[in-house]
Amino acid sequence: MRHLFAAALLLLPITAAQAQIAANNSLVIVHANVIDGIGNAPTMDATVVVKDGRIERIDRSAPPADATVVDIKGHWLLPGFVDAHTHIGDMESARRAARSGATTVRVLGVDHFADLGLRELNHAGVPDVPDVIGAGYHVRPHPSSAFFLDFPQASEMLGGLRGPDQVRWMVRALASRGVNVIKVMATERAGTPDTNPRVRVFNDEELAAIVDEAKAANLRVAAHAHGEEGAAAAVKAGVLSIEHGTWLNDETLRQMKDKGVYLVPTLVATHDLAEPGGDYDNPVLQIRGRAMLRTAKEMVARAWKIGVKIVAGTDTGYLARSNDRLPDEIVAIAECGVPALEALKAGTSLAAELLGVGTRTGAIKPGYEADLVVIERNPLDDIRNVRDVLMVVNNGKVIVNDFNIAPKP
């Protein structure tokens, strides 16, 4: 089984000391080696001042007299992780994500708009729930049966969603509930044994209608696509990201580069298919996953050389049985030949850019939300060090801490 963060640490309630920081207007992190998510070199032995949940400054000045000070003793301060592909649908899973360092997540398919409820809890100030960019339901030929409980007026589509008018109706229905993004299935799934991930599911006219209706609502479109034919059609239709992309060829990758289409390869999810346990645990899928994983890694290496923007996403629900977290995807991307610093950006600033929140999170920068992660050792020396999370700050509030916190008198 692969790396899990220390379960006992991640499930701890917020302690009295952490609550004191959460209630204090000013938090100062000292003796931090900062990788800010946007620059090309770390800032050593820095002081990061957080005021009212936002980063006020990064320098080497003395902390304000009334601040709560955390000395991280020369460890490494990173932006909070941004997981660009999840399926988080309940509070405990959201808490697992946040306590593993994922302070912002994109949820690309969950029943009953649970993602939007989690988003509103975060915006209301709940400290240990990540910010959520939510899609509600997938747009797919056979929507989840739960969709029809939320939209019983769509009963005529119970037999299947087909044609431009019906897909436009579904996009409008999702937009009416306040989603942030539209998720469309351009190929069948890899994670169910009775589907073929190479097979395309919507035609050109339907894909164009989905993207057009989403743009009318000012919504971005993410396309699930493993097979080349479906992915190429989604890129042509104008989606902003390809999720998975296992069998992408160089021509489609070049089109993605030219059009600014992002790639979210979700390598750890394919790895999970290939192993017992985890989110899938099916012998048929293990055979499929082993076949897909090498191809997916080779595709990511080619995408990087071509210049496609690569973003980290886990494709997990952060369930108790889930094997992977966002740092594992960062490591997997780096193992495809992406430099360590760029792999870190794939899970921070570049992911935030894809999600449309790159002007407020995903980087350690004055004015940005104080979403921060501390790890023990330098990830630029060994990217695997990113897995060792010691501290998580979400919107300026400490939710995981392995340092001695002492408010300044």
Q: Where are the beta strands (DSSP E) in 241-365?
A: 241-244, 262-264
pLDDT in tens, 188-244: 999 999 999 999 999 999 999 999 999 999 999 999 999 999 999 999 999 999 999
Residues 119, 149 within the same domain: yes
Distance, CA of 223 to chain centre? 15
Residues 251, 345 within the same domain: yes
DSSP H or E stretch at residue 83:
strand 81-86
pLDDT in tens, 241-278: 999 999 999 999 999 999 999 999 999 999 999 999 88
Residues 186, 330 within the same domain: yes
Task: Please check the confidence at residue 22 and state whether its pLDDT lies above 80.
Answer: no
Do the domain assignments include residue 1? no
Task: Please check the confidence at residue 135 and state whether its pLDDT lies above 50.
Answer: yes
Q: Specify the range with the lowest mean pLDDT, choosing from 61-65, 296-300, 310-314, 379-383.
A: 61-65
For the chain, the domain total comes to 2
What is the value of pTM for the model shown?
0.93
Residues 228, 84 within the same domain: yes
Residues 126, 222 within the same domain: yes
Q: What is the DSSP pairing of strand 26-34 with strand 76-79?
A: parallel
Residue 90 is encoded by which pair of tokens?
């309940």
Name the pLDDT band for 24 (thresholds 50, 70, 90). Answer: low
Do the domain assignments include residue 375? yes
User: What's the whole-number average pLDDT of the chain?
Assistant: 92
Task: Please check the confidence at residue 8 and state whether its pLDDT lies above 60.
Answer: no
Residues 139, 248 within the same domain: yes
Q: What pLDDT is stored for residue 7 in this prediction?
A: 36
Residues 258, 197 within the same domain: yes
Q: Using CA atoms, how far apart are residues 328 and 35, in angstroms rounded to an integer?
A: 18
Residues 22, 125 within the same domain: no
pLDDT in tens, 300-329: 999 999 999 999 999 999 999 888 999 999
Residues 88, 163 within the same domain: yes
Residues 215, 348 within the same domain: yes
Domain at 53, CATH number = 2.30.40.10
Is residue 263 helix, strand or coil?
Answer: strand
Location of structure tokens 């991280």? 72
83 - beta bridge partners? Answer: 105
Strand ranges of the sheet holding 131-134, from the earlier edge strand across to the other edge? 81-86, 102-107, 131-134
Residue 375 is encoded by which pair of tokens?
């790890």
Percent of the chain exceeding pLDDT 70 equals: 92
Do the domain assignments include residue 310? yes
Q: Using CA atoms, how far apart are residues 394 and 37, in angstroms rounded to an integer?
A: 16
Do the domain assignments include residue 360? no
> Are residues 60 and 47 in contact, defined by beta-carbon separation less than 8 angstroms?
yes
Residues 130, 230 within the same domain: yes
Q: Using CA atoms, how far apart are residues 252 and 299, in angstroms rounded to an integer?
A: 11
Q: Which range of residues forms the domain containing residue 399?
A: 7-78+365-407
Q: What pLDDT is stored for residue 318 in this prediction?
A: 97
